[in-house]
Structure 1
Amino acid sequence: MYLLGIDVGTSSIKVAVVDVRTQKSVATAQYPETEVDIKTVQPGWAEQSPLGWWENTQQAIIKLNQAGGFDPKEIKAIGIAYQMHGLVVVDKAQQPLRDSIIWCDSRAVELGEKAFDAIGHEKCLANLLNSPGNFTASKLAWVKQNEPEHYQHIEKIMLPGDFIAMKLTGEITTSIPALSEGIFWNFKTDELAHEVMEHYGFSESLIPAIKPLFSVHGNLRADVATTLGLSAGIPVSYKSGDQPNNALSLNVLKPGEVAATAGTSGVIYGVSDNLNYDPQSRVNTFAHVTYAKEEKHTGVLLCINGTGSMYRWAKNQFASQTSYAELNMLAEKAPIGSKGLKVIPFGNGAERMLNNKYTGAQLIGIDLNVHNQSDIFRAVQEGIAFSFRYGLDIMRENGMEPKVIRAGRANLFLSDLFAQTFVDVTGVPVELYENDGSVGAALGAGIGAGIFESAADAFTQHEVIKHYTPKNEEAYEPIYQEWKTILNKALK
């Protein structure tokens, strides 16, 4: 018996088939091989085509089936993880009315700030656990204000994963965690955030049917099943944003447990059983995958836009023909502190943890007679680790004190140097696991379809593959404080 997981990422679609018995992947695929472009119609805008996601999803599944090693007809459930906070709007024929306004688009910041003032700061934070900010509700308000010809034809609004589930099943649903990440959920009353809907003038008919996250959100249409070589009628039984899903894939389900990822963006995500919020909304609180009215498990999310995006930029500019593995080995040749070279990695839009300010990425202190490629790439890794420390300190201000952080052995955590630097700078040990967003989505599907009796049963064979403990805290602390001083000056 197998499970199919789909991860709708910004750069590509990743899919995996997981064996229920071993809880391990038997085949994976990605489509396309090269990164999907983000459409930047104007500076600060970011859009992608929902139909492009759907085409790439189909191609990825077809490619997966060709890998062999399993019978596609034995797949019994489908789970979906997706890039968070994107807005998809469809008409009555379930056709997209425009491209999706995705997570890193900043056009709606001003609308969100006005809503924060109008609704009231304390009311927003106490009830929504966030300011409306630049989240999905504010993106919809931008469409309403600037594209009335599109807004008047909207039948339903969705997040990216909801759209893929709709294409698979013909059904449109949402969940409490999904609504909370769009700032559509009131945690105090445990119902739709009427104050947000009323402020923006949204009809509640735009919101899809609300279902438990782990439940059947629809069944695979016969025509789609034929195209994809799957069995008609199997359930789509799990949908989650990529960061809560990453936490699920790392078995981070209970209060006090913490996950991290360092892909295009960097995230620390901790589970809490308190309805806490950051007064400045520098970190954000959403309903976790295990949220229930009886047990209000939330996920406190720190997101840094400029992490893997910074490393990719440096690679493209200074060593475009070199692999990331080679870059990591090159960085290891430089000493701690990179001979004084400092990198501010915030060049991928306004950073929420910096109060939505944009500093731009900066390389500081370059000595043309001293620094080389090794110093540059180590400085980039150190700058990214420093940004994690800066954000983790904000989380600590809000009561999150991780004893260990779990991460997948992927992206920047493939670098031993980065993993050790992360631990030395934050002072928190890290456990690495073989995990993947698409694998997590597959396991989530097994939970939602009742194939696993509980979430815990889906991780009985979850094993640590590497463990890092602090080694160089004293050496890094003064270097971090120098970096922080530079950042604070840039923020003034």
Structure 2
Amino acid sequence: MYYLGLDIGSSSIKVALVQISNGKSLGVVQEPKEEMSMFAEKNGWAEQKPEDWWYHACKAITKLKKQHNITRTQIKGIGISYQMHGLVLIDKQGNPLRKSIIWCDSRAVEIGHTAFSEIGEDTCAENLLNSPSNFTASKLKWVKENEPEIYKRIYKFMLPGDYLAYRFSNVINTTISGLSEGIFWDFKKDSVADFLLEHYGLDKALVPDIVETFGLQSVVDKKGEIESGIAAGTPIYYRAGDQPNNALSLNVFNPGEVAATGGTSGVVYAVTDSLSVKESSRVNNFAHVNYQKGQPPRIGKLLCINGAGIQYRWLLNNLEVNSYEAMNTLALEIPVGSDGVCLIPFGNGAERMLNNKEVGTRIVNLNLNNHHKGHMCRAALEGIAFSFVFGMEILKSDGIKAKVIRAGNDNLFRSEIFANTVATLIGQEIEIYNTTGAIGAARAAGLHKGDFDDFGKSIMDNDHVMTFMPFKDKEPYLKAYQNWKNELELILNK
């Protein structure tokens, strides 16, 4: 018997099957093979059709069942992970009223900034744990202001995962964790943030019913069975945004546990039991997957680094090298500190952790007589690693005390230079796991039983790859990091 997990990204849908008995993954299918369409009518806009997510999810489920000769009745539960902060609007018939305004759409930035100022920074920090910023609530306000005819027809708003669950079941609901990522949750009152809805003039009736993150949320209905190939009556047991779900996939639930990802952008996601917020302009704070009303809080502090893997991919595309492995081999020939070459990797737009400044990518101290592409590769890996360490320092100032760091076995953490640099500078071992968001969502379907110990054991037994230990000789790393910070400070203080 199996659990099914879906991970709804903005580029593709991934679907995974895991065995209920031991949590072992049978396989993961991605649809489409090429990136999904994204619509950008204006500069800074980003939209997708919710119907496309469902189409590709159903196609991936069909392919996965066929590959592993699985029948619809062998799937005993569903878990869903999804791209955070998206806005889906449906009418009373359940039809989307417009394309989804997804996470990377920036049209509502000024709406959020204005609300932050008018409501008050202290109130936002104490109640929302964030600025309203460019999150889902601000996007809904944008629709009210700019598309009033559509706003009048809204029955409910949803997050992307809510929409997928609705297509399976014909039931509309959401979670506290989901509402918090949209900045609809008041942590001080432990309820929907009425004061923000009132400030934005949004109707509270648009908020879906709230269900537990782990538990029976709904079941597949007959129409969902026909379209998806999953048997009617199959329970949906779990739903969470991609970053909280990535943390769950790495068995990160408790204060002091930190999840890190190093893909196109980098993320450090740390769990705390404190509602204190000092860095609300640089760090996002959401209800983690195991947040429960009336219980000690479990808050996920999310720090994003835009200029991460995209920087290393740019080098791969523009140097005469044919693989990341070749780049890492070149970099290993260069000493710590890259013989003085320093790379500032923030070339992927505004960096929230730098107070939304666009500093770009900078390469400094390059000697055209002595330095070559090996130095560039090492300097890039070190520069990205230093940005992670810089982010950890911000989280530390916001009250995080890391006890364990777990990371996915993705592009950056496959590099010894990158992982060893981070581990040594933060003085903390880094556990590497070979897992994905879809696999984590599938396993999380089993958490409706509440057995978190078995969940963690299945991750360790099935996914642990290795552990990077901090080097005892930190001096060359500290010197290189200080040089990097000095260069960054010169840029920031211009």
* Common topology (TM > 0.5): yes
Bigger mean CA offset, 376-385 vs 157-166: 376-385
Paired position in structure 2 for 1:485 = 486
Shift of 1:239: 0.6
Paired position in structure 2 for 1:351 = 351
Q: What is the alpha-carbon distance in structure 1 between the residues aligned to residue 94 and residue 362 of structure 2?
A: 44
Q: What is the alpha-carbon distance in structure 2 between the residues aligned to residue 274 and residue 195 of structure 1?
A: 22
TM-score between both structures, scaled by the size of structure 2:
0.93
- C-alpha contact 1:242 1:437 (8 A) present in aligned 2: yes
Question: CA separation of 1:134/1:248 partners in 2, compared to 1, >3 Å: closer, same or farther?
Answer: same
1:324 maps onto 2:324 in alignment: yes
1:456 maps onto 2:453 in alignment: yes
Shift of 1:18: 0.4
Paired position in structure 1 for 2:151 = 151
Shift of 1:38: 4.2
Q: Counterpart of 1:130 in structure 2: which amino acid?
A: N
Q: What is the alpha-carbon distance in structure 2 between the residues aligned to residue 389 and residue 163 of structure 1?
A: 36
Q: What secondary structure sits across from 1:217 in the alignment?
A: strand
1:474 maps onto 2:475 in alignment: yes
Q: What is the alpha-carbon distance in structure 1 between the residues aligned to residue 67 and residue 398 of structure 2?
A: 46
Q: What does the per-residue CA deviation read over 1:283-310, in whole Å, with 9 as the maximum and x for residues that have no partner?
A: 1211111111223111111111222222
Paired position in structure 2 for 1:361 = 361
Shift of 1:176: 0.6
Paired position in structure 2 for 1:210 = 210
Q: What is the alpha-carbon distance in structure 1 between the residues aligned to residue 375 and residue 31 of structure 2?
A: 34
Question: CA separation of 1:42/1:362 partners in 2, compared to 1, >3 Å: closer, same or farther?
Answer: farther
Q: What does the per-residue CA deviation read over 1:216-237, in whole Å, with 9 as the maximum and x for residues that have no partner?
A: 2221132332343322220111
Within a 5 Å distance, the mapping from 1:181-192 to structure 2 comes to 181-192=181-192
Q: What secondary structure sits across from 1:151 in the alignment?
A: helix
- C-alpha contact 1:87 1:100 (8 A) present in aligned 2: yes
Question: CA separation of 1:65/1:425 partners in 2, compared to 1, >3 Å: closer, same or farther?
Answer: same
Within a 5 Å distance, the mapping from 1:387-406 to structure 2 comes to 387-406=387-406
Question: CA separation of 1:380/1:54 partners in 2, compared to 1, >3 Å: closer, same or farther?
Answer: farther
Paired position in structure 1 for 2:341 = 341
Q: What is the alpha-carbon distance in structure 2 between the residues aligned to residue 412 and residue 35 of structure 1?
A: 21
Shift of 1:26: 1.1
1:28 maps onto 2:25 in alignment: no
1:136 maps onto 2:133 in alignment: no
Q: What is the alpha-carbon distance in structure 1 between the residues aligned to residue 184 and residue 134 of structure 2?
A: 13
Q: What is the alpha-carbon distance in structure 2 between the residues aligned to residue 323 and residue 56 of structure 1?
A: 30
Q: Counterpart of 1:35 in structure 2: which amino acid?
A: E
Shift of 1:279: 4.2
Q: What is the alpha-carbon distance in structure 2 between the residues aligned to residue 430 and residue 287 of structure 1?
A: 24
Q: What is the alpha-carbon distance in structure 2 between the residues aligned to residue 10 and residue 24 of structure 1?
A: 26
Q: What is the alpha-carbon distance in structure 2 between the residues aligned to residue 377 and residue 207 of structure 1?
A: 48
Question: CA separation of 1:95/1:335 partners in 2, compared to 1, >3 Å: closer, same or farther?
Answer: farther
Pairwise CA RMSD: 2.0
- C-alpha contact 1:447 1:454 (8 A) present in aligned 2: yes
- C-alpha contact 1:276 1:285 (8 A) present in aligned 2: no
1:167 maps onto 2:167 in alignment: yes
Shift of 1:190: 0.6
TM-score between both structures, scaled by the size of structure 1:
0.93
Q: Counterpart of 1:403 in structure 2: which amino acid?
A: K
Bigger mean CA offset, 377-386 vs 109-118: 377-386
Q: What is the alpha-carbon distance in structure 1 between the residues aligned to residue 424 and residue 39 of structure 2?
A: 37
- C-alpha contact 2:17 2:26 (8 A) present in aligned 1: yes
- C-alpha contact 1:405 1:429 (8 A) present in aligned 2: yes
Q: Counterpart of 1:480 in structure 2: which amino acid?
A: Y
Q: What secondary structure sits across from 2:118 in the alignment?
A: helix
Q: What is the alpha-carbon distance in structure 2 between the residues aligned to residue 45 and residue 426 of structure 1?
A: 37
Paired position in structure 2 for 1:177 = 177
Q: What is the alpha-carbon distance in structure 2 between the residues aligned to residue 106 and residue 361 of structure 1?
A: 21
Q: What is the alpha-carbon distance in structure 1 between the residues aligned to residue 346 and residue 308 of structure 2?
A: 8
Q: What does the per-residue CA deviation read over 1:325-363, in whole Å, with 9 as the maximum and x for residues that have no partner?
A: 443334333332233332222233322211122222333
Q: What does the per-residue CA deviation read over 1:242-295, in whole Å, with 9 as the maximum and x for residues that have no partner?
A: 111111111111222111111222111111111121244211211111111223
- C-alpha contact 2:256 2:404 (8 A) present in aligned 1: no
Q: What is the alpha-carbon distance in structure 1 between the residues aligned to residue 322 and residue 96 of structure 2?
A: 39
Aligned residues between the structures: 488
Bigger mean CA offset, 438-447 vs 339-348: 339-348
Q: What does the per-residue CA deviation read over 1:360-384, in whole Å, with 9 as the maximum and x for residues that have no partner?
A: 2333344443343332232222221
Question: CA separation of 1:40/1:425 partners in 2, compared to 1, >3 Å: closer, same or farther?
Answer: farther
- C-alpha contact 1:388 1:426 (8 A) present in aligned 2: no
Q: What is the alpha-carbon distance in structure 1 between the residues aligned to residue 217 and residue 400 of structure 2?
A: 33
- C-alpha contact 1:447 1:458 (8 A) present in aligned 2: yes
Q: What is the alpha-carbon distance in structure 2 between the residues aligned to residue 346 and residue 35 of structure 1?
A: 24
Paired position in structure 1 for 2:236 = 236
- C-alpha contact 2:5 2:443 (8 A) present in aligned 1: yes
